[in-house]
Amino acid sequence: MKIVVLDGYTENPGDLSWDDLKALGDLTVYDRTAADQIVNRIGDAEAVYTNKTPISAETLAACPNLKFIGVLATGYNIVDVSSAKEHGVVVSNIPTYGTDAVGQFAIAMLLEICHHIGHHDQAVHQGRWENNQDWCFWDYPLIELAGKNMGIIGFGRIGRTTARIAKALGMNILAYDAYRPDDRLLEGYQFTGLDNLLSQSDVISLHCPLFPETQGLINRDTISKMKDGVIILNNSRGPLIVEQDLADALNSGKVYAAGLDVVSTEPIKGDNPLLKAKNCLITPHISWAPKESRQRLMNIAVENLRQFQKGAPVNVVSK
């Protein structure tokens, strides 16, 4: 079987091995693939892996040998799944691999907002402490989280992991999800409606998928229902937030701070209003990227193809 990886660099910049995938066929790995290279690089391959390189209906029509598409991510909107189904191409994704990493990162953003550790470390190295009149100093309000309410929108695996860590910090957890989880998963947490969560939370963390009904979930109207000085976290999907509305709320002080690992267009564009907003921490979509997490992704990606070759495909999204 001929196998092509179109954009392998973000998954494996050199610290992992492709050997397990290589054992399943004749493997070619490209770090990145431009739009005008996609068809030629797939060529007569039977299996292709993609992370963010789109596979359109036109590409599928131009590559008739293709039988399997492995998405190196959970989201699979970069593949025309309906067209793949029409062509008899199986599409498999990676449903769960970075749960602990993403939950950890959400709390890391929150702690940075609360303590500005990076800033104060830099201040010390710049000599400000040694030249300070007092034995300590701080440039931002320092925030204790114990006793505060964290509202988690989207109470799946990652939402629950974030809740567990926040609860260990002494926070009270308000949870909202379009589908109520099993009561056993809610033990120690308060499941509530969205409006109540918005009005009662000191911190709101987004962990829901991007669907038409969740796009723009955080907007001028929902922000108006929040507490003054709320903190908003998003390392789920950028389009969950109307970015100009959040920027306006940050600049007015309605929202105290935001921690974002995702934005609506990635890489971020220079005219994104959040780049100039007050108290807005932005990182380049790296919640998922610890080596341990990427190794799990690799293992699942290999197993997806192995099971396809056995005639028993798993994690199929093109049903």
pLDDT digits (tens, 9 = 90+) for 294-315: 999 999 999 999 999 999 999 9
Residues that are catalytic? 237, 266, 285
Average pLDDT of span 137-155: 97
Q: What is the pLDDT of residue 293?
A: 98
- Asked if residues 26 and 3 have their Cβ atoms less than 8 Å apart, the reply is yes
Q: What is the average pLDDT score of the chain?
A: 97
Q: What is the pLDDT of residue 79?
A: 97
Average pLDDT of span 203-210: 95
Q: How confident is the model at residue 319 (pLDDT cuts 50, 70, 90)?
A: confident
Residues in CB range of 301: below 8 A, 6 or more apart: 21, 49, 70, 72, 94
pLDDT reading at 190 higher than 90: yes
Q: How confident is the model at residue 253 (pLDDT cuts 50, 70, 90)?
A: very high
More confident residue, 306 or 183: 306
Task: Give, for 296, the enclosing helix (H) or strand (E).
Answer: helix 291-309
**Edge-to-edge strand list for the sheet holding 149-153:** 190-191, 172-176, 149-153, 203-206, 230-234, 255-260, 280-282
Q: Shortest CA distance to 195 belongs to which of 217, 212, 210? A: 217
pLDDT reading at 219 higher than 90: yes
pLDDT, tens digit (0-9, with 9 covering 90-100), for 15-74: 999 999 999 999 999 999 999 999 999 999 999 999 999 999 999 999 999 999 999 999
Beta bridge partners of 280: 258
Q: What is the pLDDT of residue 232?
A: 99
Q: Tell me if residue 146 falls in helix, strand or coil.
A: coil
Distance CA 60, CA 54 (A): 11
Number of alpha helices (DSSP H) and beta strands (DSSP E) in the chain: 11, 12
pLDDT, tens digit (0-9, with 9 covering 90-100), for 62-94: 999 999 999 999 989 999 999 999 999 999 999
Tell me if the pTM is above 0.85. Answer: yes
Average pLDDT of span 102-127: 98
Percentage of residues of the chain with pLDDT beyond 90: 97
- Asked if residues 159 and 150 have their Cβ atoms less than 8 Å apart, the reply is no
DSSP state of 239: G
Residues in CB range of 58: below 8 A, 6 or more apart: none
Residue-by-residue DSSP string for 27-94? EEE-S---GGGHHHHHTT-SEEEESSS-B-HHHHHH-TT--EEEESSS--TTB-HHHHHHTT-EEE--
Question: What domains are defined for the chain?
Answer: 2-97+291-309 (3.40.50.720), 99-282 (3.40.50.720)
Tokens 């609360």, residue?
Answer: 114
